[in-house]
Structure 1
Amino acid sequence: MQNKNSIITKLAFLSVSFMLTSAYAVQSALPQLKASLAITQTQSEYMATTPSFAVMIFVVLSPFLQRWFHISDKKMIMAGVTVVGVMGLVPFFPIHSFPIILGSRLLLGAGFGLYNSQAISMISVWYEGTTRAQMLGWRAAAEQIGQATTLFIAGLLLSVAGWHASFLVYILAFVALVFFGVRVPDDAKSPAAEKEVEEDVDETVEDFEEDPIKKTSPVVYLLVLFAFLLVVDYVGMENRFPGLAVTINGANYTGSSNFLSLMLIGATLGGLFYGSIQKRLGFGTVYLGLGLMALSNFLFYFAGDQFWLLVIGLLLIGFPLQLVSPLIFNLLPDLAPAKRQPLVTSMVLIGFNFGAFFSPTIAEWTNHLMHAPMSGFGLAAPFLVYGIGLLVIALIICIARRTHHAK
C-alpha cells in the first residue's frame, strides 16, 4: 500500500480537486464560440455556467448512487473524473451543434457532482488532526490553482488553434485520474478514524440535546438570496469580460484567459486575509466587501474603451467576494439549530450554484431593463445595476442591524 503521508500521495489526493473548478476554463473562448455557432450572448455564457446546474443535482444524488451501487469513495471519485475527462473533450471534435455541446457541458457538471463531496470525505477519513486540516486547506487551494491553470492553458490553446482546441485542457482529467488511481490507497477506514466518527456522533447527540437555538431564523433565506446575488455578479463579470475585451481590442484578441487567471489571485488573497480583516473589523467586513464589489462593478461599467479600467474592475472583484462569502457561513450557526446546520449550509451552497447557473439570464434581463444591446459595450450595462444593488443591500443591512440593536 502507498504511504499516505508521502508528498506524492498527498498530491494525488489533491489532483482530483484540481479539476473541480475547470468548468470555467473555456470562458476566454466564448466570443469565438459564439461567432462560430451563431448563437446569442446568453447562450454562449451558458456554456460556462450550465455545469453548475448539474453539480447541484449530482452532489445530492452522489451518496445515494454510491450506496446503491456499493461503490467505494475511491471508485466514485475515479468514475466522476472519467466523466469529466470524456464530456469535457466532446467540444474539441468538429461538432457545431449547440444542443450537443451544451449537453456535454451538462454531463461535465454531473461528473463534478459525482465526486465533489467524496474528494473532501476521503481526505477526512485518511488523515487526522493537523494533517487533516492542512490537507483540507490545500484541497481548497487546489481548486483555485486548478481554475487559474486550466484557464491559462485553455487560453493558450485558443490562441494557437481556435476554440475547439481550448477544450483539450480536459486531457488533464485523465492525468489526474491515473495519478490518483495509482498513488491513492484503496478505501479502508482505520480504527482511529472509526473511533473518531463514533465520538463525533456522541458529541453531536449531546449538542442537539443542549442546543439553545430551537428554530431556523428567516434570515437564513435572506442569506441564500444574498449568496445567489453575489455569484450572479461575480460569474457575470467573468462571462462578459472576454466579449468586452474583444470589443475594445478587436475580434482576433485571445488574451482574456490571462486576466481571468489573475482574477483568481485576488480571490485567493481575499480568502487568506479574511480571518485577519474579520478580526479587526468584525461585522464591518461585510460593508468593506460590498463596497469594494460595488466599486469593481462601477469600474467595469464606466471603463468604456479604456481596457485598463476594465481589467482593474475584473481583478478587484474576487478579493471582496472572499470577504463576504465566508461571513455568510459564519453567521449560520447562530441562525439555525445544530441538527439543521447541514440543511442550511446546503441551502446556501445551492444559492451560490443557482447564482452561477442563472447569471447569464439575469444579465440578459438587466440588459433589456436598461434597453442596452447584447453586444459591444452594451455587455457592461448590467454592472451599473449590480453596483447600485450592492450599495442598497449594504444600506439595508446597516439599517436592519441598527434597528435590531435599538430594541
Structure 2
Amino acid sequence: MLKSSTSFQNVRLKVAILCISLTIQTAGAVAAAVPAMIDSFANRSTTEIQSLLTIPSFSIMLFIILSSGIIKYIGKRNTVLIGLTIALLGGLLPAFTSNFYLILLGRFLFGAGTGLYNSLTISLIGDCFERDEQQNLIGLQSATAALGNSVATFIAGLLLSVNWHSSFLVYLAIIPMIIIFSLGYTKRIEKETSVEVKNDTVAHVNKKLSPAVLLGIFTLFFFFVSVIVMLTSSALAIQQLGLAHSELLSLALSVAGI
C-alpha cells in the first residue's frame, strides 16, 4: 500500500484508477445504431449486424484470460496503457470505414483492448489501497463503470442523429483516460506496489473459490446474457413495431444503466 503519498497524489491516483473503468461496459453503447447499419449493409443478415455488438464480449473474455501472462512481461501500467490504446483504435475504426470486415475487426480490437485491462480495474485498487478506503473504491469502481456506460450510450445516441458512423466517435473519450491514467499511476507507484503484491500472491496462492463465489459467477453470466439480448434486439424491436422517436432508445438505455 502507498504510505508515503501526499493527499494530492492520493486523490490523483484514485482518479487515475477509477477513470479506466469508464469504458469497460460501453461495448453496447452504439446499440441504437443497429437499424441504420442494417439499412446500410443490405447484403448482410440481421444476425451479422448484431454480431458487431456481441463480438467485443467474446474478445473481452479471451483477453481477460490472456492478460495475466501479458502483465507478467510488461507490467500493469503498460498493460493498461496498451489496452486503452487498442480499445481506442478499435472503437474509432467503424467511424471511418464502411467495410463490414474492417468494422468487425474494429469491434474485436475494442473488446481485446478492454479485456487486457478489465481485471486491473479492481486489482489496482487492491494493490494501492486497503481496509475501508479499498472497499469504498471498489464500490465507486462499479458505479463509475455503470455511469460510463450510461453517458456513452446517451452521447452515442446524440451522435447517431448525424449518421451511424458518428456514433462510434463516442470512443474518443478514451484519449483523456489515457492521459489521466499515465499521469496518475506513474512508474514509481507501480514499483512501490510490486513487492507487496508479490508477497500477497505467495500468501494467498492456495486459496480456492468458495461455492458462494462460483454461484455468483454463474448468476452474473446469465444476467449478462440477458443484457446482451436486450442490447442487440431493442433497436430492432422499435424499428419493426414502427414506434416514433426510435432515436430515444439510447436515452432509455442510459436511464436503465443509471
Return the TM-score normalized by structure 1.
0.56
Taking the aligned partners of 2:67 and 2:230, their CA distance within structure 1 comes to 31
Deviations 1:356-406 (A, max 9, x none): xxxxxxxxxxxxxxxxxxxxxxxxxxxxxxxxxxxxxxxxxxxxxxxxxxx
Identical amino acids, percent of aligned pairs: 30
Aligned equivalent of 1:81, options 72, 80, 84: 84
Shift of 1:247: 3.1
Is 1:48 aligned to residue 50 of structure 2? no
Aligned in 2, Cα 1:246/1:52: closer, same or farther, shift over 3 Å?
A: same
| Displacement after TM superposition at 1:120 (Å) | 1.7
Partner of 1:13: 17
| Contact 1:126–1:189 under 8 Å retained in 2 | no
The whole-number CA distance in structure 2 between the counterparts of 1:231 and 1:119 is 19
Task: Tell me the residue number matched to 2:192.
Answer: 189
- The alignment status of 1:133 with 2:138, answered yes or no, reads no
Deviation at 1:227, TM superposition (A): 5.2
Counterpart in the other structure of 2:124:
122
Which structure exhibits the higher relative contact order, with contacts defined as CA atoms closer than 8 Å and separated by 6 or more residues? 2
Out of 82, 88, 93, the position equivalent to 1:90 is 93
Q: What per-residue deviation string (whole Å, max 9, x for no partner) do you get for residues 171-195 of structure 1? A: 001111011112223212349x72x
Higher mean alpha-carbon deviation, 95-104 vs 48-57, is at: 95-104
Matches within 5 A, 1:79-228: 79-93=82-96, 95-159=97-161, 161-186=162-187, 187-190=190-193, 194=196, 198=199, 201-202=202-203, 224=218, 228=221
1:33 to 12, 37, 51: 37
1:52-94 CA distance string (max 9 Å, x none): 1111111111111222xx312111101100001111000111x
In 2, distance between residues paired with 1:258 and 1:190? 41
Instruction: Give the superposition deviation at 1:246.
Output: 2.5
Compared CA separation, residues 91 and 251, structure 1 to 2 (3 A): farther
Please say if residues 4 and 185 of structure 1, whose CA atoms lie closer than 8 Å, have aligned partners that are also in contact: no
Displacement of 1:26: 0.4
Report the residue type matching 2:33 in the other structure.
A
1:225-266: CA deviations, max 9, x gaps? x6554433322122211122223445873111000111113x
Secondary structure at the residue paired with 1:188? helix
Runs of 4+ with >6 A deviation: none
Q: Which amino acid aligns with 1:85?
A: L
Residue 221 of structure 2 corresponds to residue 231 of structure 1: no
Distance (Å, rounded) in 2 between the aligned partners of 1:228 and 1:190: 32
Separation of aligned partners in 2, 1:200 and 1:123: 15
Aligned to 2:253: 260
2:254 aligned partner, one-letter code: S
Which structure is larger by alpha-carbon Rg, 1 or 2? 1
Q: How many pairs are equivalent?
A: 248
- Secondary structure in 1 aligned to 2:191? coil
RMSD of aligned alpha carbons: 2.8
